[in-house]
Each structure stands twice: as C-alpha cells, then as structure tokens.
Amino acid sequence: MRRRLRTQLPLFLLLAGFTAVNLTPIIWGFLTSLKQPVDAFAVPPEWIFQPTLTFHAQVWFEKGFGAFLVNSVVISVCTVLTSVSVGTMAAYGLARLSSRTSRGLLFGLLAMRMFPHILLAIPFFVLAKTLGLINTYLAMILALVAINQPFTIWLMRSFFVDVPHELYEAASIDGCNAWQVFSRVALPVVRPGLWVTALFSLLLAYNEFLFALVLTGPDTKTLPVAIAEYGGEDINYWSLSAAAAVGIMLPIVMFMMLLQRHLVRGLALGAVKG
C-alpha cells in the first residue's frame, strides 16, 4: 500500500499540475472580466483585487450582446433539429443497407469531412449573395447543416449498427411497416446516441466562426463574430471583451458539464469505431 502511494501521489500531482496550467487561460480570462481597467493593466499582473460586475452588466444590457445571444440560439437550435433528424434517417438507411452498398457512401461522407471549410464558404457566400440570403438565418442554418451532416450521419450509423438485426426482423414479423420499425423500434433503442449526436451538433453550431463571419449581417450576427469584432483591437475594452468572452463560454460549458457523461461516451464511441 505504501509503495503504491509513493508512485501514485507524484503521478497525481504531475497530472494535477498540468491540468492547472491548462486551465490558466480560462481562469485568467475570467479574472480579467471582473477587473477594473486599472487592475487589468497592472504590471506585474494582479491575482488579488477588488472584483466588479460592471462589465458583465454592460456587455449584456448596453452593447447588445443579448440580441447576438438570441441569434446564436435560434441558429444553433434550428441547425441541431434539422441535421439530427435528417442525419438519423440517413444513418438508419445506411445501417440497414448491405455493407457493400453503404461503404462507398460512407467513404464519400468521410471525404467531405476533410474539406477545407474555406473552400465551401466561398461558394456559399456567392450563392447567398445571388439569392439575397446574406444576413438571414436561413443561409446560416443551411450552411451549418451542410457541414454538420457527414458527422451526424457517421456517428448515428455507429449506434444503429449496434442494434441486433433480430430486433428489426421480430418487429416486421409482428406486423410493423418500414416506418414503424424505424420509429417504434430502432429510435427508442438508440436514444442515448441521439443525445450525443445532438450535443456535438450543438457545440459545432454554437462555436462556428468562419461561416458566421461570412454569412451573417448586422441582424443575424452570432456571438463568436460579435466578440471577434469587439475584443481584438481596442485595448481599452479588455475588461469588457473579457466579460463578453466569459459570457459566451459559460452557457455552453455549463450545458456540457451537465451532460458530460453522454459527451465522453459519445466521443469515445465515435472515435474508437470511427
């Protein structure tokens, strides 16, 4: 026991130390958001100071981040609903097709994963401009669904493949038609997988920057674009942009923490099975 402790404790301290270093940028950003400019620019940096919530309030109430949050939420939720429902059906189809037929399609999907997004952003932009869809939710949602789709299909398929074939056969013998086999039998079985897929889609949609930068306008700007415009340049706004940054991070991090177990399992599953 003693010997085990002697190897375990340094290992733990090493890993905990790495974790601490790893989290420093996040903690530091959080502290900056609570600082008055005087404290934010102190050299050497201050770890202890009089905290203030002024900037958090200012970001949300005066600088219009509330509206950007609404944009982000509308776009994310619509993207998740569309891509998960389409992806689930496609994945079910692929999982039930003979492996030779579906293999080509699956490789095609994987190939799409490696597209440089910038290559798609340009035609999307030109198309959206021609159709007058710039600065609409629709353009952004369609673009996000398109880039997200290969991933949702791929992941959902790995869950459907796990369902034993006998289950489907039993259902159709009992008189289910094709649609009922899908909705009454297959869907309930893969419900945990559905959650995982929805979570990842949400993460992608909420965090997406390049397409949002190109396709949104003043009325549909999402949080990442807003903060990038804000935070970068003017050094006087440090505390303000830190508050905004923390504000963007908190909802998604809290959401993910709550659903952490699903997330980790899904990641492991998706990656191991690929």
Partner 1 sequence: MVYPLGYAIYLSLFNYDLGNGAHDFIGFGNYGALLAEQRFWNSLDRTVAIVLAAVGLEFGLGLAIAYGLYRLTFGVRTLNLLLFLPNIVTPVVAALFLRWIFMGRWGLIAGTLIGWGIFPPDFLGDPDWARATVILADAWQFTPFMIMVLYAGLNTVDQSQIEAAQIDGAGVWTLLFRIMMPAIQPLIVFVLAIRLMDAFRFFDTIYVMTGGGPGSATETITLYTYALAFRLLQVGKACALGVLTLLFVALLTALMIRFVYRRERGAF
Looking at residues 65 to 124 of the shown chain, list those that interact with partner 1 (rule: CB under 8 A).
Answer: 99, 103, 106, 111-124
Q: Concatenated DSSP letters for 148-168?
A: HHHHHHHHHHHHHHHS-HHHH
The residue among 57 and 126 lying less far from partner 1, judged by its C-beta, is 126
Region near partner 1 per CB under 8 A, out of 23-31, 53-61, 77-85, 170-178: 23-31
CB of 93 to partner 1, least distance (A): 17
Among 8, 54, 183, 236, binds partner 1 (CB under 8 A): 8
Angle at Cα 135 formed by Cα 129 and Cα 137, nearest 5°? 110
Q: How far is it, in rounded angstroms, from Cα 62 to Cα 64?
A: 6
Neighbouring CB atoms inside 10 A of 88's CB total 24
Q: How far is it, in rounded angstroms, from Cα 145 to Cα 123?
A: 15
Residue 267 touches partner 1, criterion: CB under 8 A: yes
Q: How far is it, in rounded angstroms, from Cα 199 to Cα 261?
A: 11
Residues 29 to 58 in contact with partner 1, rule: CB under 8 A? 29, 32, 40-45
The residue among 43 and 173 lying less far from partner 1, judged by its C-beta, is 43
Number of residues that bind partner 1 (CB under 8 A): 77
CB of 119 to partner 1, least distance (A): 3
Q: How far is it, in rounded angstroms, from Cα 134 to Cα 98?
A: 41
**Cα distances (angstroms) measured from residue 71 to each of 30, 54, 111, 131:** 24, 24, 31, 21
Residues 122 to 141 in contact with partner 1, rule: CB under 8 A? 122-127
CB of 19 to partner 1, least distance (A): 5
